[in-house]
Amino acid sequence: MRRFFIEYSYIIGFTITGLVFGLACFLLFVNFYHYKNTNVVYYQDSVLSKRLVSINNKINSAHNNIYSVDVNGYSGDIDKVSLLNLYSKLSFCITKLDSIGSSFNKKKLNVQDVYNLTLLYKNNIINDCVVVQLYDLDKNINIEKLNIIKPFVKLNADSLINSVSYVKKNLENNSSYFLSSKFMKDNVFEVTRDSYIEVLNSYEESVDLVYDLTVFFKSLIGV
């Protein structure tokens, strides 16, 4: 056995060196490929731009619905304090939607921009507006008609709360090596582009929810 090792130690040494060389080359190329994949830049196309314009128009309509009514001058059956509470919740949400609207208009996005946008949307809209303001809509608000739309609001809020959690986790896991082909990136999933579209979809749903609530509010006042 000893003689065998001494005779063939040169071959075994080269074999092991060759295997280590192969592993090192693999790691080197995988790192270059991974770097190229994580540095993909997404350029916003015309379809998304039109979508953003329609979302902005909806926010403006919601804005008009809320600010065109004179809540202080209301003299109907509904409790005025409750109306004012509902008014302040909705105007807070519209302010938040206005504040982050410009962040979606960026034409050139890399993965860091999409991640920042996800955090901004999650903190400002999901946490501050949907969870704090809209989830328990009838808290300190005594309006009978609210019971009709409360389940609808809660259902939408539940769907929105979890809508971007997996996007955030997926983006944070972009350190793992993934060897996706160009075919997969064009047809199945591309991290930067598709994460941005998921956040935009969720943003559009939250705008729709707030808009519907402003229409409801306007109908309460009777305008």
Query: Of the two residues 38 and 201, which places its CB atom closer to other proteins in the complex?
Result: 38
Query: Of the two residues 10 and 43, which places its CB atom closer to other proteins in the complex?
Result: 10
Q: Identify the CA nearest to 213 among candidates 163, 150, 125, 139.
A: 150
123-202-168 Cα angle (round to 5): 55
Distance set, CA 70 to CA 41, 87, 221 (Å):
47, 10, 9
CB of 105 to other proteins, least distance (A): 22
CB of 145 to other proteins, least distance (A): 44
Query: Of the two residues 7 and 77, which places its CB atom closer to other proteins in the complex?
Result: 7
Q: Residue holding tokens 């295997």?
A: 19
Query: Of the two residues 10 and 183, which places its CB atom closer to other proteins in the complex?
Result: 10
Query: Of the two residues 191 and 213, which places its CB atom closer to other proteins in the complex?
Result: 191
Beta bridge partners of 127: none
CB of 214 to other proteins, least distance (A): 35
Q: Which residues bind other proteins (CB under 8 A)?
A: 5-7, 9-10, 12-14, 16-21, 23-25, 27-28, 31, 35, 38-39, 110-112, 115, 171-177
User: HSE on the CB side for 122, CA within 13 Å?
Assistant: 16
With beta carbons less than 8 A apart as the criterion, state whether 41 and 108 touch: yes
CB of 48 to other proteins, least distance (A): 22
CA separation for the pair 24, 62 (Å, rounded)? 58
CB of 32 to other proteins, least distance (A): 9
Query: Of the two residues 38 and 124, which places its CB atom closer to other proteins in the complex?
Result: 38
Neighbour tally for 145: CB within 10 Å: 11
With beta carbons less than 8 A apart as the criterion, state whether 192 and 114 touch: yes
Beta bridge partners of 108: 43
CB of 78 to other proteins, least distance (A): 47
With beta carbons less than 8 A apart as the criterion, state whether 209 and 156 touch: yes
